[in-house]
Amino acid sequence: MDAGSFKLNFWANGPKPGELYSFPGATGSTIPGCGPVRHTLNPMVTGTSVLGVKFDGGILLAADMLGSYGSLARFRNISRVMKVNDCTVLGASGDYADYQYLKQVIEQMVIDEELLGDGHNYSPKAIYSWLTRVMYNRRSKMNPLWNTVVIGGVYNGESFLGYVDKLGVAYEAPTIATGFGAYLAQPLMREVLEKKATLSKDEAYELLERCMKVLYYRDARSYNRYEIAIVTESGVQIEGPLTSETNWDIAHLVRSGFQ
């Protein structure tokens, strides 16, 4: 068999390695009116960071209540945290419409589960696994749900905190922060957890409050109105709307003029 003349037919007119290849049917080039036109989207109304932290006996999840329309602070009272069932909560950043769709699907799933009446509930890990698969499959079809989701809960005495994003990247960690939170809040959260491996509920709450304050100071698409979801063995509680105490005294130290 001569190596040079051996031709793989299925790769005959394929892309050269490293070359950009446009997938067939990926762009909206299908015949109009013939089935859903899918394309990789642009997010419209978006939510910014979601923070999550584990403590001894449960987890805390925090997200602000802003839906931005580009740089416009359009919807200032939307909830980006949802209760899935008595042991799980879910917070989403990214496109709000995709989150609403996801919320609808999950709520229906939970109802169907209850109707089975077998005494079983979705565990946070189950929702996390399911969502990872959904997100990955959507991205493989070039039609993602443009969200980064944080799933937290307590099941069988064990607390769970996981992250899933629009690419299907998923991981579990004791502290999670999406979006800008990864740059601003994560260093603060990690600093605390490195000194003390397990936090009490009050310590974790105080940590999240500090982080939400810093995010309000430095994230240009944030808002000073947020919700915190607390999940413990005894159930789910979503507190809100809360506000951070901000200190603008340094404004007096900023002088414009001849510098």
Give all strands (DSSP E) within 48-201, no chain letters: 50-55, 58-64, 67-69, 72-75, 81-85, 88-95, 147-155, 158-164, 170-172, 175-177
Residue 135 in contact with residue 165, Cβ under 8 Å?
yes
Q: Which CB atom, from 23 or from 258, has the smaller least distance to another protein?
A: 258
Q: Which CB atom, from 125 or from 190, has the smaller least distance to another protein?
A: 190
Residue 205 in contact with residue 188, Cβ under 8 Å?
no
Q: Shortest Cβ distance from residue 197 to another protein (Å)?
A: 4
The site for another protein (CB under 8 A) is made up of 180, 183-188, 190-191, 196-197, 210-211, 213-214, 217-218, 249-250, 253-255, 258-259
Q: Which CB atom, from 159 or from 186, has the smaller least distance to another protein?
A: 186
175 flagged as catalytic: no
Residue 92 in contact with residue 164, Cβ under 8 Å?
no
- Catalytic, out of 30, 40, 198, 243: 40
Q: Shortest Cβ distance from residue 238 to another protein (Å)?
A: 25
Please give the single-letter amino acid code of residue 237: Q
**Cα(20)–Cα(2) distance, integer angstroms:** 30
Q: Shortest Cβ distance from residue 205 to another protein (Å)?
A: 15
| Measured CA distances, 30 to 14, 36, 40, 42, 198 (Å) | 21, 9, 14, 19, 54
Q: Shortest Cβ distance from residue 88 to another protein (Å)?
A: 27
Q: Which CB atom, from 53 or from 90, has the smaller least distance to another protein?
A: 53
Half-sphere exposure of 167 (CA within 13 A, CB side): 3
Q: Which CB atom, from 75 or from 217, has the smaller least distance to another protein?
A: 217
Q: What is the torsion angle, in degrees rounded to the nearest 10, for the CA atoms of residue 79, residue 97, residue 59 and residue 137? A: 170
Q: Shortest Cβ distance from residue 214 to another protein (Å)?
A: 5
Residues designated as active site: 40
